[in-house]
Copies of this chain bind each other. A is one copy, B any other.
Amino acid sequence: MPRLEPASSPATEIKIQPAPHSHLQARTGVCEACTVRGLTICSSLGPTDHDKLAGLVQHLHLEPHQAIFQEDEAADYVYTITSGCVAMSKSLADGRRQITGFMGPGDFLGLAVEEAHHYSAETLTPTRLCRYPRKRFRSVMQSVPALEQRMYALAADELALAQEQILLLGRKTALERLATFLLMMRRRAEQRGLPTNPLRLAMARNEVADYLGLTVETVSRGFSKLRAMGAITLDSAELVRLAKPALLEELSGA
């Protein structure tokens, strides 16, 4: 799996990395043109404070299925996603994988306080990221209360999501998990102003499976069953129409 090159550039300047596998880019004026600024941590900053962050930022563009960072690896950077879709995951020694969440435009990667990442992150689609050196980001955090507060809110929100996921994994059946998943994906698409009918799933069946604690086969059977029930139709494997949202709500367990 391809890894990122360590970056040696100071930031904010125009910079094209010559290294063959690097996808690092930095450009001036990028933040001003940012399409998801309202969703990101940047939206909680005034111009002066924003400059503090902008001074650290590096812009990355990654292909699908590239690792952003790995579990237990030193957390040198934290990230904001500006476009694309990312999966966070944890794995057991024998390779069983659990996806703990999907991230999209506006989301923040690397909340932990520790020196190492607690999970891996990899792209599912072509992805643009803003990357900040973690330690410097933390010192900006400590000097900017609005940012600290925003980060707290982010952590609390993500915690609430994780607890929903715990309920799903601990107590829901395969079909309930799938229904819950589809409704969640629709909500996310709505929040980002993306089309919801059909709804585009950025992830493959096996990634849905790893997220829902199931196998690919069970997920596929679930899609088929939902289709047989008339709850959904499939334009293609990744384009889903939620034909009966109310039925999905019922099926989702609560």
Q: Is the CB of A171 within 8 A of B119?
A: no
Chain B CB within 8 A of A100 CB: yes
Q: Is the CB of B112 within 8 A of A159?
A: yes
Q: CA–CA, A164 to B170, complex, Å? A: 13
Closest 7 pairs (CB-CB, A-B): A170-B213, A155-B155, A169-B169, A162-B162, A93-B254, A98-B170, A92-B254
Q: Which of A151-179 contact B (CB under 8 A)?
A: 151-153, 155-160, 162-167, 169-172
Q: Which of B112, B118, B163, B213 contacts A171, CB < 8 Å?
A: B213
Q: Is the CB of B163 within 8 A of A119?
A: yes
Q: CA–CA, A98 to B159, complex, Å? A: 15
Spot the interface stretch: A29-37, A48-56, A141-149: A141-149
Q: Which residues of A contact B (CB under 8 A)?
A: 88, 90-94, 96-98, 100, 111-114, 118-119, 142, 145, 148-149, 151-153, 155-160, 162-167, 169-172, 210, 212-213, 253-254
A172: which B residues are within 8 A, CB to CB? 92
Q: Is the CB of B92 within 8 A of A167?
A: yes
Q: Is the CB of B98 within 8 A of A166?
A: yes
A160: which B residues are within 8 A, CB to CB? 112, 114, 118
A153: which B residues are within 8 A, CB to CB? 113
A142: which B residues are within 8 A, CB to CB? 145, 149
Min CB distance, A117 to chain B, in Å? 10
**In the complex, residue of chain B having the shortest beta-carbon distance to the beta carbon of A172:** B92
Q: Which of B114, B169, B253 contacts A93, CB < 8 Å?
A: B253
Q: Which of B100, B113, B114, B149 contacts A148, CB < 8 Å?
A: B149
Q: CA–CA, A229 to B15, complex, Å? A: 60
Min CB distance, A231 to chain B, in Å? 18
